Amino acid sequence: MTDEWRDPSTTAELRGELFGVHIPELQLSVADYRDGLAAAKLGAGERYLELGSGHGRGLLVAASEFGAHATGVEYLEDAIERSERAAAKAEVSDRVDVVRDDLRRIDPTAFDVVHMHLGPAFHDVLAGRMERLLAQHARVVAAGWKVPGWLPDADAAEQWGGGYVYRPADPRMQASWGELGQTDELDWIELHVHADLDAIEVRVDSAPAGAIALDRVRAARGTTVLVQRPASGELAVWARCRAGRFTQRGPAWRA
Ligand SMILES: C[S@@+](CC[C@H](N)C(=O)[O-])C[C@H]1O[C@@H](n2cnc3c(N)ncnc32)[C@H](O)[C@@H]1O
């Protein structure tokens, strides 16, 4: 990597607003990228996508330090040109591409790690698409801001404090058990929902449970639903996310 890209102060102005959406004028340093991508375990040969790649510092780190194939999506032409020049100088042009497009239109399906440092304005638009389209193993690095409703990867959180690493298409991360509760008639347990789920079904010891306190068969990311607690056995939730997968959700809970 060239020295220019090691120096976080070497930045041109990035505009704060595109397509009417305000984006903070912030840029990550090489060290920020390195730590975030290490926490996401970006591997050699994996495909890295950066939404709003700015001047391309993240693309260079991904390609030259992690051996990934890096694709940036950016709208500002001067930033794209600068990214391409830096990639050529660092001799990683064969592993760096920058696409000029609106990042809200990009299909993330084929990528292993998606990076975004965009502020909260885009998270809602992007979150549903990533839940639907990413592969189960894919990771999302959200630098700086939490994605509302998503459950961050706990190991990555111990390693890196500059943002959050998520696995939005991994069934185990799409719901989690919360607090226990009780009324006169019913014992229940909270189910925190981290992805938009359809056709929720509760099973006890793999058999469909009879009466449940779920008041819906569909739940949106960021909501909590109450599930009736069985007197004994293992409680598991099955559901479909919009990608049409049908898989056990979240860790099972044993009475
Ligand atoms: C906060 S900056 C982050 C730049 C870089 N990822 C970093 O962290 O250093 C956000 C970037 O997203 C780009 N951007 C904002 N809205 C966009 C859109 N709708 N489509 C493509 N790029 C966009 C901006 O031009 C800017 O480069």
CATH code of 250's domain: 2.60.40
Co-location of 89 and 191 in the same domain: no
CB 216 within 8 A of CB 190: no
The rounded Cα 9 to chain-centroid distance in angstroms is 28
Give the mutation target among 100, 113, 117 for probing the ligand 1 site: most ligand atoms within 8 A of CB: 117
What is the pLDDT at residue 250? Answer: 53
User: In the chain, which stretches have pLDDT less than 50?
Assistant: 1-14, 211
Domain CATH for 50: 3.40.50.150
Q: What is the DSSP letter of 72?
A: E
Q: Which atom of ligand 1 is nearest the CA belonging to 79? A: 27
User: Range of 15's domain?
Assistant: 3-166
**Nearest partner of 139 among 122, 156, 158, 160, judged by Cα:** 156
Helix (H) or strand (E) holding 241: strand 234-241
What is the pLDDT at residue 196? Answer: 87
Output the CA 27–ligand 1 centroid distance in Å: 9
What is the pLDDT at residue 238? Answer: 80
Pocket lining: 54 vs ligand 1, CB cutoff 6 Å: yes
Pocket lining: 24 vs ligand 1, CB cutoff 6 Å: yes
Pocket lining: 70 vs ligand 1, CB cutoff 6 Å: no
> Reading across the β-sheet that carries 175-182, which strands appear in turn?
175-182, 187-193, 224-228
Q: Look-up: residue for tokens 């070497």?
A: 10
Give the mutation target among 6, 13, 14 for probing the ligand 1 site: most ligand atoms within 8 A of CB: 14
Alpha-carbon gap, residue 72 to 115, rounded angstroms: 9
Co-location of 145 and 202 in the same domain: no
Number of domains within the chain: 2
Which three-class secondary structure state does DSSP give residue 26? coil
CB 188 within 8 A of CB 181: yes
Residues β-bridged to residue 253:
235
Domain end position, chosen among 166, 184, 200: 166
Q: pTM (2 decimals)?
A: 0.87
Tokens found for residue 183: 């009324």
Pocket lining: 222 vs ligand 1, CB cutoff 6 Å: no
Co-location of 128 and 27 in the same domain: yes
Domain end position, chosen among 122, 140, 166: 166
**Nearest partner of 62 among 33, 83, 28, 90, judged by Cα:** 33
Co-location of 234 and 162 in the same domain: no
Co-location of 185 and 149 in the same domain: no
CB 129 within 8 A of CB 154: no
Each residue of 137-188: pLDDT tens digit?
999 999 999 999 999 999 999 999 999 999 998 888 888 899 999 988 888 8
Q: What is the CA radius of gyration of the chain?
A: 21
Pocket lining: 13 vs ligand 1, CB cutoff 6 Å: no
Give the mutation target among 19, 116, 118, 140 for probing the ligand 1 site: most ligand atoms within 8 A of CB: 118
Pocket lining: 83 vs ligand 1, CB cutoff 6 Å: no
Strands 187-193 and 224-228: antiparallel
What is the pLDDT at residue 185? Answer: 81
Pocket lining: 248 vs ligand 1, CB cutoff 6 Å: no
Q: Look-up: residue for tokens 């001067």?
A: 78
